[in-house]
Amino acid sequence: MKRFVLRRLGYALVSLTLLSITIFVFVRLTGDPALLLVEPGASKADVDAVRERFGLDQPLVVQYGKFMNGLLRGDFGQSFYYRTPVLELYLSRLPNSLLLATVAMSFSLLIGIPTGILAAVRVNSWWDRAGRIFALLGLSLPSFWIGLVLILFFSVYLGWLPSSGSGTALHVLMPAFALGWYFAASHMRLTRSSMLDVLGAEYVKLARLKGLPESRVIAKHALKNALIPVLTLAGINLIIMINVAVVVETVFAWPGIGRLLYEGIAFRDFPIVQATVLLGGSMIVFVNLLVDVLYGMIDPRIRYER
C-alpha cells in the first residue's frame, strides 16, 4: 500500500512538473514573454524593466527555477487590471464557482441517474432509445448555446429569471442548468452501463429468486452498487465543472473562476490566464491522485497493477 501511494504521488508530481513546463514553454515559444507580461501599450523602458524583474534575459533553466520558486511560494504574479495578487483574486472567485458547480452537478445527477436507470431496466425498449437520443443531444449541444437560448426564453420572453449576474437563488438556475446539461448525458451513460452490469450479477439473481418484487431488487440491491462508479465520476466532474465553466460564466456574467479567465483574456491580463490554467490543472491532478489512492485502498487488485 505504501509503495502504491508513493508511486501515485510520484506520478502526480511528474504531472505537475510537466504542467508547469508546458505552460512555461508555451509562453516563451511565442516570442517575447515580456510583451505578454507588460500592460498593453507599455513603453520600451517598461518592457525592459519587466524583462529584468522577471529575469527574462537569463538562461531558460534559471528562468524556470525562478518561475517554480515563485509558484511554490504562492506567488502567481500581479494582475494588471485589478492591481492585486492573482492568487487573491482566484480565491475570492472560488466560492462562486463552487456554488455554480454544485448546483449544476445536482441538475446533472437529477437528470442523468433516473434516465440511466430507466434505460437500463427497460433495455432496448422505447425508453432506452429515447435515453440514447437524449445523451447524444447532450453531447452535441454546446452548453453556452443552451445558456443563450435559456436567456432568450426565460429572461427575454417570459421575464421569469434574471439574465445575468449573481446574488439570489434565481441567478444560479440557468447557468447551472446549462453547465449541468452536458454532464447529465455522461452520467446517464455511465448509470446505464453500470446498472446493466449489476443487474446481471449473481446477488441480484438471488434477490429475485428470493421472490422480492422487481422494484425492491432494483432500488435496494442493484442501485446501491451501480451508483458507486457514477458518484466517483460525479466527484471528478465537479472539479472539471469548476474549470470548464468559462463560456457559461461568460454568457451569464457569473463571477466565478471561468469569468476571471475570460477577463484575463479580454483585458490581455496574462498573469491571470497563466495562474487560472496552472491552478485548474493542479486541481485536476490532485483529484485524480485522490481517486487513484482511494480505489487502491478499496480494491487491492489495483494496487498490484504494474
Partner 1 sequence: MNASTAVVLAEAPRRTARRLSSWPLIPLAILVAMLLIAIGADVLAPHNPEVGSLGMRFKPPVWQAGGSATYLLGTDHLGRDVLSRLLFGARVSLVVGFTAVIVAGILGVVLGITAGYMGGWVDEVIMRLTDTWLALPALTFAIFLAAVLGPSELNIIIVLSAIYWTRYARVIRGEVLSLKEREFVRLAVIAGCSRLTIMRRHILPNVLNSAIVLATLMLGVVVVTEAALSFLGVGVPPPKPAWGLMLADGKRGLMAGYWWLTVLPGLCIMFLVLAANLLGDWLRVKLDPQLRQL
Of residues 102, 155, 225, 232, which one binds partner 1 by CB under 8 A?
155
Residue selected from 65, 95, 142, 300 as contacting partner 1 according to rule CB under 8 A: 142
Asked if 19 touches partner 1 (CB under 8 A), the answer is: yes
Binding piece for partner 1, criterion CB under 8 A, among 23-31, 105-113, 202-210, 212-220: 23-31
271 binds partner 1 (CB under 8 A): no
Residue 241 CA to residue 229 CA, distance in Å, equals 18
Q: How far is the CB of 274 from partner 1 (least distance, A)?
A: 8
Between 112 and 264, name the residue whose CB sits nearer to partner 1. 264
Q: Which of 96, 163, 186, 194 binds partner 1 (CB under 8 A)?
A: 163
Compare residues 130 and 148 and give the one whose CB is closer to partner 1.
Answer: 148
Cell of 58: 537569463
Q: Is 141 in the site for partner 1 (CB under 8 A)?
A: yes
Cα–Cα distances in angstroms (integers) from residue 212 to residues 117, 123, 209, 222, in the given order: 18, 20, 7, 12
145 is a contact residue toward partner 1 (CB under 8 A): yes
Residue 9, φ and ψ in degrees, nearest 5 = -60, -40
Residues 56-85 that bind partner 1 (CB under 8 A): none
Q: Does 196 bind partner 1 (CB under 8 A)?
A: no
Extract the C-alpha cell encoding 249: 460564466
**Between residues 42 and 236, which has the closer beta carbon with respect to partner 1?**
236
- Calpha distance 125→60 (Å, rounded): 61
First CA to last CA across the chain, in angstroms? 13
49-73 exposure pattern, b = at least 16 Cβ within 10 A, e = fewer: ebbeebebeeeeeebeeebeeebee
Identity of the residue numbered 278: L
Shortest distance, position 258 Cβ to partner 1, whole Å: 8
Q: Given the rule CB under 8 A, which of 106-114, 204-212, 213-221, 273-281 is the region that contacts partner 1? A: 273-281
- Residue 124 to residue 208: CA distance in whole angstroms: 21
Q: What mask, x for binding partner 1 by CB under 8 A, covers residues 227 to 266?
A: -------------x--xx-xx--xx---------xx-xxx
Angle (nearest 5°) at CA 82 between 79 and 85? 45
Long-range contacts of 126-131 (CB under 8 A, 24+ apart): 128/192, 131/188, 131/192
In the complex, which residues of this chain contact partner 1 (CB under 8 A)? 11, 14-15, 18-19, 22-23, 26-27, 29-30, 36, 136-137, 139-142, 144-145, 148-149, 151-152, 155-157, 163, 240, 243-244, 246-247, 250-251, 261-262, 264-266, 270, 273-274, 276-277, 280-281, 284-285, 288
